[in-house]
Amino acid sequence: MAMQVFKYQDITRKPNPMRILNPLAKASNEVVDLLDRIETLERTNAWKKLIKQWQEQGKMLDPDLLPKVARMGLGKLDIANDIQRQLDAGHCAKTIANPTRFMEQLVQALNCVVTSDGKWLSIDGQHTATVIASLIRAGLVKGVNADNWRDFEVNVLYVETDDLAFARKAFGILNGKGKKQQSAYSNLRTSVYVVRIDKNTDDEEDVAIERKVAIAEKYDCYPVEINSSLNKHPGTFTNVGIFKARSDEVIEESCKWHNTYFHQDSIHVSLFFMFDELAKNKAKLTDKFLRELAGLIQNIFVDLDGYAEAVKEAFRKFTKKQYGEEMNWRDDAYIVGLLQLYKELGGTERVPQLLLDTYSDLHLYFADEIVEYAKAA
């Protein structure tokens, strides 16, 4: 009787619209002028409210206060230790000056404040400045004598002020606080486009990311941006960081399983965590086992979203009972709860004992209606 709970019922497969809509499959190569973006912004309620706030506060942008541009010899640059971070030598050596990545065209302008006594204080770009000066001193800059690093001119954006509080805040903004960061998806898209559109395979990381995306796409699984209108479509997922950190084999197995049994759903991140744990614990993924797991989820929880919600609640109750307080969620509990339930309900395929022993008896903390339903199924 209980074995019925493992019986997966096939679901009619419908064409996945993501095959046409997937932005990673083709770049539009479309270029629009700035007015397109301006009009998009002006149509939003958030922007209309913002304009009203400026008007109510009598605030006006003063062009004279915008940063100015100059060429400055590196020798003039001072670093305020209590504004800038300590120099990160690893960042200089492994990232900025990495010989396989370094491109002169991508060197950024330095940001400084210029005080009334003529000091140029760096508020952003100390690593860039240090790398250039050090490359000169190493004799690695064309046409520049190693002793002349102080005279070598770089582009600087500067603001004239004696207000060091301004400099401190500016450093925070230029280094992330208040600045829109690139999303994980946006970084992934860049890697994929570099390989697919530009046919550039110089960067191993870009190549590895494109390969992972291609494996997922083979099984109708697609990374999309958080809050994208695409994430309602089957096979889409937004946890790009988790995806990128998985091995090719884990992506292959997990996406294949999703596309075989839950092809009508978008992907819950638990999929990647569960297959990762199965791989780490050298579980034997027989067809019978994989189908029974799908059946168990389908019959009791409907889908991975339903399972994830239920196991998180079980974990909360389990930790409270075991340790006297609720512990933060741990991602390995996704597979532990499922395998314990599988065995409790009579599953016969071999599963790694270590996973069954982790969070021992977690399965007893699933909600009563789940246990009743499972046993009646």
Binding region for another protein (CB under 8 A)? 9, 11-12, 45, 229, 232, 264, 266, 298, 300-303, 305-306, 309-310, 367, 369-370, 372-373, 376
Q: Answer for the pair 363, 337: CB distance below 8 angstroms, yes or no.
A: yes
Cα–Cα distance, 70 to 66 (Å, whole number): 13
CB of 375 to another protein, least distance (A): 11
Closer to another protein by CB, 67 or 306: give it. Answer: 306
Closer to another protein by CB, 266 or 340: give it. Answer: 266
CB of 267 to another protein, least distance (A): 12
- Residue 33 has a CB neighbour count (10 Å cut-off) of 7
**What angle do the packed helices 287-296 and 248-261 form, to 10 degrees?**
60
CB of 112 to another protein, least distance (A): 38
Closer to another protein by CB, 120 or 315: give it. Answer: 315
Cα–Cα distance, 176 to 157 (Å, whole number): 18
CB of 153 to another protein, least distance (A): 48
CB of 8 to another protein, least distance (A): 10
Identify which of 104, 115, 107 has the alpha carbon closest to the alpha carbon of residue 78. 115
CB of 303 to another protein, least distance (A): 6
CA distances from 340 to 169, 351, 366 (A): 52, 9, 11
CB of 9 to another protein, least distance (A): 5
CB of 12 to another protein, least distance (A): 8
Relative to beta strand 68-73, strand 153-160 is antiparallel
Closer to another protein by CB, 163 or 309: give it. Answer: 309
- Residue 373 has a CB neighbour count (10 Å cut-off) of 15
Cα–Cα distance, 100 to 15 (Å, whole number): 42
Kindly list the strands in the beta sheet with 68-73, ordered across the sheet, starting from the edge strand earlier in the chain. 68-73, 153-160, 110-114, 120-124, 77-79
Cα–Cα distance, 281 to 296 (Å, whole number): 21
Displacement of CA 154 from its chain's centroid (Å): 33
Cα–Cα distance, 130 to 93 (Å, whole number): 11
Tokens 């189908």 belong to which residue? 291
Closer to another protein by CB, 8 or 193: give it. Answer: 8
Closer to another protein by CB, 122 or 299: give it. Answer: 299
CB of 373 to another protein, least distance (A): 6
Q: How many CA atoms lie within 13 A of 78 on its CB side?
A: 13
Closer to another protein by CB, 188 or 230: give it. Answer: 230
Closer to another protein by CB, 357 or 369: give it. Answer: 369
Closer to another protein by CB, 158 or 307: give it. Answer: 307
